[in-house]
């Protein structure tokens, strides 16, 4: 976001006042280690091999097959009979903003008071003591995106978190991860506002609402650009004409508008659009909307009908985040099919399995496995290694952090899971989970975070 | 079972129109996926007549080659809502609760069931052949009576109109009784007492000469059945403290058959439940501490109940989410320490015993031919039924979802 503010306000115009809410995540140092004898799948969909992975300073520093020489490390972890994968990533979660216990006092996911609330940030709702975080860790989840809910056309900014125990949400924020903007199609916005006799009450009302907001954002962007230009001219004058008589006042910046800042962030390509959208026909129209205003949709979430338009999604470079088998709970999910994820994959588009559920996030590997098996029954060529990319590499790509995590590759964060069984098996449990090389869960020693909420009343639950 | 066998024998001998289906080469898995004998199953008139290797078909028998695949009894879901709504979120088409009445013990879901629901074959594709369709709490803690169904579209869908009475005493349900769980439990007991008075004063009731009841006759009759043990009472309750109070309160009725459902903290009072032989219906995946009643919710509850000797079965709760798959639930329970055999039992023989479903939940001679032939480990998420038999008849596994997949695979040329 800093770059954006430089763009809008210029370096001299008081960026200190508009400081970000920076990540304070700072993993402690640890001794270098090497995991050996593991069945390794690096998360590129290319299959598995018996090998080792060495970790130093929180990063993966070498990978090899068992017959290849490995660096000596202070600690050697023998993972014989275990499967090693990248940490699981959930691109759609409400942990912290819809925590457990789930009372109204805790229910902070939907600012359902106006259809456009691009100004709210999910991180300001996240309760870091939500006991659902350790449950997700027990399912191997190392990174997750927490989103605002889907009551609004523009729900607000998302935040990408490392799944660690912290006193503050800043302590969980994934350093440098781009923000997301939550948008929503279909039934939810029109139901929430239609029931209050406000716009939108129809799908066409939804679209009018999106377009109006983007037009406003374009205006705001122009204003910011005019200011930036004037500031540039002023700076030029100041540096070249110092001390001369025709003294100029610096231009005053436009009044900040948080809603517009987020939308302009999307138009500038700095904030990624995560669009809740079930139906294929609506996704196709959202793609037109993105063309009208010149922005990129990063991912459609809950894309239960993505299988109908895999070609269109591939051509537009849009990921689909999907459930394995949720359907028919609402009319726009009526055409959900188990083969969805595999069909999107087969169409050459980016496929992701997401949860949107504090239950489902505990077993994204099983959900990927269900989707894989359904594809195989249909005769599609999807194997366990490809299915793993749906909850690792492709998820990292949609969050804009694929250069840092999502696969086991030299230089990336050591976000790793050791599984008891092949990860696509229902019997697989995450036995050991590392985040940036730090062991955060280890069943053998009983290591698992205990949130403040659980302390003294729920500690026995692993 | 002996009686059933006798009847069976008569049928196969005397009835010339006896229909035989011979399933060849299936592996009877009971204790683990790895073990289990290769065998044939002879099914006559919907009943398993013979189990053994190398069975010879009678003349005119239909033969099905099981291809050495594993076979299990059809799964039994101890609580779902299939048939009460096509699309849950629409509100308008949901028939699982009665609102606007502060006492709905007389409410029966069976009158609302849709035997053509598109969700029925979804259950079949999860290997589920029977299930309880459960009412949800409307405006009354007594929600009414569940029905037993067989998952097969058509007139045979409904098996039994009234299986159990459902009483909701979870944290959110006390609102139905004036805001206190004290009044909720007291109200539930008061209604049982009223049913006893109704039984005593039936003649006076019929001639309007008795002290008036604050309950309808349908409620009084329903609660009489519960009190006298003619219909089990399923209490949906989570907190350990509440479970103890429920067990104590209802033990005043010696004939009443108490079953707990949900029961997030049942493991904390497992010794009591084991001692009193009270079965528990649990949703394995439902391990969130969603409220203060559920602080003890945990994923390995089944393992703890098994260790304490408590009888339990699994329920899905809903056809709409990941919790609907009973095989996945059972697989998770295994990963959490339950034996494979006990996990399979929790969706087959255990619910059959809890609900008194004679002939269901086991593959043995004389049993009803509800079975599933699987393409792999029945508890694996990657496995699916190859064929499903209900009452000895094949179930159509085709779904509109399958038709959609086929249409778009062809349209996008994905193969």
- The string of DSSP codes covering A395-417 is HHHHTT-TTTSSS--TTSB--EE
A359 with B286: Cβ contact below 8 A: yes
Q: How far apart are CA A435 and CA A60, in angstroms?
A: 11
Q: Give the closest of B286, B324, B380 to A425, CB-based.
A: B380
Domain boundary among B321, B339, B357: B357
Strand partners, B91: none
Nearest-angstrom CA–CA distance, A188 and A203: 10
Nearest to B364 by CA among B22, B16, B30: B30
Q: List A36's β-bridge partners, or say none.
A: A78
Mean pLDDT of B153-173: 95
Q: What is the pLDDT of residues B342-374, one digit of tens each?
A: 999 999 999 999 999 999 999 999 999 999 999
Chain B segment 71-100 residues within 8 A of A by beta carbon are 86-90
Q: E strand or H helix at A265, and its extent? A: helix A258-267
ipTM for this prediction: 0.94
Average pLDDT of B238-247?
A: 98
Q: Residue B226: its pLDDT value, please?
A: 98
Is the CB of B87 less than 8 angstroms away from the CB of A328? Answer: yes
* Residue extents of the structural domains in chain A: 2-26+85-206+257-442
Instruction: Tell me: do B242 and B369 sit in the same domain.
Output: no
CB–CB contact A330 B379 (8 Å): no
A102 and chain B in contact, CB less than 8 A = yes
CA distance A349 to B406: 19
**Residue B8: per-residue pLDDT:** 38
- Reported as a single tens digit per residue, the pLDDT across A72-114 is 998 999 999 999 999 999 999 999 999 999 999 999 999 999 9
Region A347-368 average pLDDT: 98
Residue range A132-148: mean pLDDT, rounded: 98
How far B346 CA lies from chain A's nearest CA (Å)? 17
CB nearest to B87's CB, from A331, A360, A372 = A331
Q: Are both B367 and B311 inside the same structural domain? A: no
> How far is B333 from B343, CA to CA, in rounded Å?
7
Report yes or no: A304 at the B interface, CB cutoff 8 Å: no
Question: What pLDDT sits at residue A16?
Answer: 33
Residues B271 and B329 in one domain: yes
Same domain for B206 and B120? yes
Interface membership of A195 toward B (CB under 8 Å): no
CA–CA gap between residue B254 and residue B274 (Å, rounded):
17
Q: How far is A108 from chain B (nearest CA, A)?
A: 15
- Mention every residue, 6+ apart, whose C-beta is less than 8 A from residue A291: none
Phi/psi at A329 (5° precision): -80, -20
Contacts of B379 in chain A (CB under 8 A): 426
Q: Does B119 touch chain A (CB under 8 A)?
A: yes
- DSSP assignments along A96-152, one per residue: TTS-SS--GGG--S--TTSSB-TT-BGGGT--TT-THHHHHHHTTEEEEEE---SSS
Q: What is the mean pLDDT of chain A?
A: 94
Which residues in chain A are contacts of B322 at CB distance < 8 A? Answer: 323-326, 357, 359-360, 363, 367
Given CB atoms, is A45 within the 8 Å cutoff of chain B? no
Joined tokens for residue A416: 């790793």
Smallest CA–CA distance, residue B353 to chain A, in Å, is 27
pLDDT at position A462, please? 58
- Mean pLDDT, to the nearest integer, of A33-42? 98
Q: How far apart are CA A388 and CA A42, in angstroms?
A: 9
Q: CB distance from B319 to chain A under 8 Å?
A: yes
Terminal CA-to-CA distance of chain B, rounded, Å?
50
Please tell me the predicted confidence (pLDDT) of residue B178: 76
Q: Cis check for the bond before A101: say yes or no (omega within 30 of 0).
A: yes
Note whether B44 and B103 are same-domain residues: no
- Whether B259 and B354 have beta carbons less than 8 Å apart is answered as yes
**CATH code of residue B405:** 2.30.40.10
Q: How far is CA A395 from CA A406, A408, B226, in A?
A: 7, 14, 52
The 10s digit of each residue's pLDDT in A205-246 is: 999 999 999 999 999 999 999 999 999 998 888 888 666 656
Taking one residue from A and the other from B, the number of pairs with CB-CB distance under 8 angstroms is: 148
Q: Percent of chain B at pLDDT above 70?
A: 94
CB B324 within 8 A of CB B80: yes
Residues from chain B contacting residue A307 (CB–CB below 8 Å): 404-405, 408
Percent of chain A past pLDDT 70, that is, above it, reads 94
Chain A: give the shortest CA distance to residue B139, in Å: 20
Which residue carries 């799944």 as its tokens? A163
A379, A426, A454 ranked by CB distance to B335: nearest: A426
Banded model confidence at residue B92, pLDDT cuts 50, 70, 90: low
Contact A419, A86 (CB under 8 A): no
Give phi and psi for B313, each to the nearest 5. Answer: -140, 160
Nearest alpha-carbon partner for A172 in A406, A436, A391, A456: A436
CA dihedral B238, B240, B242, B245 (to 10 degrees): 140
Give the nearest chain B residue to A382 (CA atoms): B415
| Mean pLDDT confidence for B327-337 | 98
What residue ranges in B186-319 does DSSP mark as E strands? 233-237, 258-262, 280-282, 312-314
Block residue for tokens 């709409």: B320
Residue at a domain's end among B342, B357, B372 = B357
Identify which of A330, A339, A369 has the shortest CB distance to residue B381.
A369
Of A324-338, B89-103, B247-261, B303-317, where does mean pLDDT reach its minimum? B89-103
Separation in Å, CA of B95 to nearest CA in chain A: 14
> Is the pLDDT at B212 greater than 90, yes or no?
no
d(CA A445, CA A448): 9
CB of A131 closer than 8 Å to CB of A96: no
Contact yes or no for A379 and B89 at CB 8 A: no
Do B239 and B282 reside in the same domain of the chain? yes
Across the range A57-62, mean pLDDT stands at 97
Q: Tell me if chain B has a CB within 8 Å of the CB of A295.
A: no
Domain span including residue B199: 75-357
Same domain, B371 and B310: no
The lowest-confidence range among A5-19, A145-159, B59-73, B386-400 is A5-19
Residue A274 structure tokens: 């995560």
Average pLDDT, chain B: 91
B401 at interface of A, judged by CB pairs closer than 8 A = yes
pTM value?
0.94
Helices (H), A186-257: 187-194, 203-240
pLDDT tens across A372-421, in order?
Answer: 999 999 999 999 999 999 999 999 999 999 999 999 999 999 999 999 99
CA distance A290 to A296: 6
For B94, the closest chain A residue by CA position comes to A329
Say whether residue B34 is in contact with chain A using an 8 A CB cutoff.
no
Choice between B179 and A267, residue whose per-residue pLDDT is larger: A267
Q: How confident is the model at residue B242 (pLDDT cuts 50, 70, 90)?
A: very high
The fold for domain A2-26+85-206+257-442 equals TIM Barrel (3.20.20)
Please give the tally of structural domains in chain B: 2
Please state the rounded mean pLDDT for residues A123-151.
98
Q: How confident is the model at residue A158, as a pLDDT? A: 98
Distance in angstroms (rounded) separating the CA atoms of residues B397 and B80 = 19
How high is the pLDDT of residue B7?
39
Q: Which residue in B287, B297, B414 is closest to A347 by CB distance?
A: B414
Both B311 and B201 in a single domain?
yes
Rounded to a whole number of angstroms, the distance from the CA of B363 to the nearest CA of chain A is: 25
- Where does the pLDDT of residue A9 fall: very low under 50, low under 70, confident under 90, or very high at 90 and above? very low
Residue B396, pLDDT score? 95
Whether the Cβ atoms of residue A435 and residue A141 lie closer than 8 Å to each other: no
Q: Is the sign of the CA dihedral B323, B401, A45, A321 positive or negative?
A: negative
Look at residue A242 in the predicted model and tell me its pLDDT. Answer: 65
Task: Show residues of chain A in contact with B381, CB under 8 Å.
Answer: 366, 369-370, 373, 424-426
Classify burial at B195, counting beta carbons within 10 Å of its beta carbon; exposed 0-12, middle 13-18, buried 19 or more: buried
Integer-rounded Cα radius of gyration of chain A: 23
| Distance (Å, whole) CA B218 – CA B135 | 16
Of B357, B377, B394, the one marking the end of a domain is B357
Q: How far is A342 from chain B (nearest CA, A)?
A: 10
pLDDT band at B399 (very low <50, low <70, confident <90, very high): very high
Q: Could you report the per-residue pLDDT of A283-311, keeping only the tens digit for each?
A: 999 999 999 999 999 999 999 999 999 99
Per-residue pLDDT, averaged over A357-377, amounts to 98
B221 and chain A in contact, CB less than 8 A: no
| Residue written as token pair 């970790």 | A55
Whether A329 and B287 lie within 8 Å, measured CB to CB: no
Within this chain, do residues B103 and B211 fall inside the same structural domain, yes or no? yes
**Least Cα separation, residue A378 to chain B (angstroms):** 8
Quickly state the pLDDT bin for A15 (edges 50, 70, 90).
very low
User: What is the pLDDT, as a whole number, of residue B18?
Assistant: 66
Strand order across the A88-93 sheet: A88-93, A141-146, A159-162
Same domain, B248 and B294: yes
CATH classification at residue B131: 3.20.20.140
């Amino acid at each position: 976001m800093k770059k954006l503010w430089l763009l809008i306000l210029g370096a001299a115009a008081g960026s200190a006042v508009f400081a970000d809410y920076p990540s304070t995540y700072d993993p402690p140092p640890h001794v270098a280690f090497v995991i050996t004898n593991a069945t390794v799948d690096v998360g590129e969909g290319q299959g598995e091999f018996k090998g080792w992975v060495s970790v130093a300073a929180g990063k993966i520093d070498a990978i090899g097959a068992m017959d290849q020489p490995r660096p000596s490390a202070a600690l050697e972890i023998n993972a014989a009979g275990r499967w090693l994968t990248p940490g699981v990533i959930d691109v759609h979660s409400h942990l912290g903003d819809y925590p457990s216990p789930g009372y109204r006092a805790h229910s902070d996911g939907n600012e359902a008071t106006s259809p456009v609330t691009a100004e709210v940030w999910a991180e300001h709702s996240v309760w870091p003591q939500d006991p659902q975080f350790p449950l997700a860790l027990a399912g191997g989840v190392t990174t997750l995106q927490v989103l605002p809910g889907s009551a609004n056309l523009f729900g607000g900014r998302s935040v990408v978190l490392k799944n660690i125990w912290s006193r503050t949400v800043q302590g969980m924020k994934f350093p440098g991860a781009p923000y997301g903007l939550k948008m929503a199609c279909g039934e939810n916005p029109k139901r929430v506002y239609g029931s209050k006799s406000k716009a939108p009450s129809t799908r066409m009302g939804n679209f009018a609402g999106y377009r109006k907001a983007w037009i406003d954002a374009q205006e705001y962007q122009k204003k910011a650009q005019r200011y930036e230009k004037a500031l540039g001219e002023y700076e030029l004058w100041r540096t070249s004409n110092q001390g001369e008589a025709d003294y100029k006042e610096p231009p005053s910046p436009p009044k900040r508008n948080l809603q517009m800042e987020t939308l302009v962030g999307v138009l500038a390509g700095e904030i990624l659009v995560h669009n809740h959208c079930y139906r294929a026909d609506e996704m196709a129209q959202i793609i037109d909307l993105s063309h009208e205003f010149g922005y990129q949709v990063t991912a459609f979430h809950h894309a239960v009908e993505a299988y109908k338009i895999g070609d269109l999604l591939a051509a537009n470079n849009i990921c689909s985040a999907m459930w394995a088998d949720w359907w028919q709970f609402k009319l726009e999910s009526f055409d959900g099919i188990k083969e969805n994820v595999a069909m999107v994959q087969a169409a050459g588009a980016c496929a992701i399995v997401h949860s949107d559920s504090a239950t489902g996030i505990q077993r994204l590997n099983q959900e990927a496995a269900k989707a894989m098996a359904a594809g195989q029954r249909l005769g599609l060529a999807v194997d366990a290694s490809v299915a793993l990319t749906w909850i690792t590499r492709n998820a990292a790509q949609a969050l804009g952090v694929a250069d840092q995590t999502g696969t086991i590759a030299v230089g990336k964060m050591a976000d790793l899971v050791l599984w008891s069984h092949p990860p696509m098996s229902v019997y697989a449990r995450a036995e050991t989970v590392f985040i940036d090389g730090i062991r955060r869960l280890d069943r053998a020693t009983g290591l698992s975070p205990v949130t403040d909420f659980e302390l003294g009343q729920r500690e026995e639950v692993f | 079972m002996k009686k059933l066998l006798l009847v069976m024998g008569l049928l196969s001998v005397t009835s010339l129109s006896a229909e035989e289906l011979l399933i060849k080469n299936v592996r009877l898995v009971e204790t683990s996926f790895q073990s289990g004998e290769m065998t044939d199953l002879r099914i006559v008139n919907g009943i398993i007549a013979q189990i053994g290797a190398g069975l010879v078909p009678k003349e005119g028998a239909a033969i099905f080659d099981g291809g050495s695949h594993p076979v299990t009894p059809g799964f039994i879901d101890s609580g779902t809502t299939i048939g009460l709504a096509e699309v849950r979120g629409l509100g308008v088409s949901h028939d699982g609760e009665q609102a606007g009445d502060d006492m709905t013990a007389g409410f029966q879901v069976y009158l609302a069931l849709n035997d053509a629901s598109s969700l029925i074959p979804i259950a079949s594709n999860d290997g589920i052949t029977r299930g309880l369709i459960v009412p949800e709490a409307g405006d009354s803690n007594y929600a009414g009576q569940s029905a037993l169904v067989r998952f097969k579209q058509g007139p045979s869908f409904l098996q039994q109109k009234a299986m159990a009475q459902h009483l909701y005493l979870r944290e959110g349900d006390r609102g139905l009784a004036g805001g206190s769980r004290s009044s909720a439990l007291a109200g539930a007991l008061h209604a049982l007492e009223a049913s006893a008075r109704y039984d005593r004063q039936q003649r006076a009731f019929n001639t309007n000469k008795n002290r008036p009841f604050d309950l309808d006759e349908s409620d009084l009759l329903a609660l009489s059945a519960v009190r006298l043990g003619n219909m089990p009472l399923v209490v949906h309750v989570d907190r350990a403290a509440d479970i103890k109070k429920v067990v104590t309160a209802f033990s005043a009725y010696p004939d009443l058959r108490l079953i707990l459902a949900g029961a997030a903290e049942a493991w904390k009072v497992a010794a009591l439940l084991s001692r009193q032989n009270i079965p528990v219906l649990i949703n394995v995946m439902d391990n969130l501490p969603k409220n203060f009643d559920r602080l003890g919710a945990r994923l390995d509850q089944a393992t703890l109940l098994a260790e304490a000797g408590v009888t339990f079965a699994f329920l899905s709760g809903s056809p709409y989410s990941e919790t609907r798959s009973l095989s996945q639930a059972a697989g998770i329970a295994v990963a959490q320490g339950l034996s494979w055999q006990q996990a399979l039992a929790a969706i087959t023989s255990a619910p059959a015993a809890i609900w008194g479903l004679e002939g269901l939940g086991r593959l043995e001679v004389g049993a009803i031919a509800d079975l599933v032939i699987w393409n792999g480990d029945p508890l694996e998420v990657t496995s699916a039924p190859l064929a499903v038999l209900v009452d000895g008849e094949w179930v159509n596994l085709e779904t509109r979802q399958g038709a959609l997949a086929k249409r778009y695979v062809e349209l996008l040329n994905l193969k």
